[in-house]
Amino acid sequence: MIKGIGIDIIELDRIEASLGKSDRLAARVLTASELGKYEELTNWRRRIEYLAGRFAAKEACAKALGTGIGKLSFRDIEVTNDEKGAPKLTVQGYDHYIYLLSISHSKEYAVAQVVICEKA
């Protein structure tokens, strides 16, 4: 049974402008594991897409849970990849749900959608 859905879209220019000033946004949004992968990226554009995609995924997840960012922090939500490379979510304190995540990028935007289902 579906418990919630959420979607978020963000302009890549906003992420780029923030990163141009400092890496504070990356440190605030990404978990330690995500930050490690982010720091391994040598292509500036790929760093922007990576951070924007995770930002959108975490916002979409918080919307789907009905909590918003506030009750949950960005670092309570982690985006990893399964064995085929598809993104997946884990959320501290909410492991009783199944999370379905899709992230996409265009030249100007990153978008993410999350569907939350009850475990059988």
DSSP for 71-113, written as a single string: HB-GGGEEEEE-TTS-EEEEETT-TTEEEEEEEEE-SSEEEEE
- Can 37 be counted among the known catalytic residues? no
- Rounded to whole angstroms, the Cα distance separating 51 from 66 reads 23
Whole-angstrom Cα Rg for the chain:
14
- Can 88 be counted among the known catalytic residues? no
- Rounded to whole angstroms, the Cα distance separating 11 from 111 reads 9
Nearest CA to 102 out of 2, 7, 26 is that of: 7
Query: Residues 21, 37, 58, 63: which is the catalytic one?
Result: 63
Query: Residues 21, 37, 71, 105: which is the catalytic one?
Result: 105
The set of catalytic residues is 63, 105
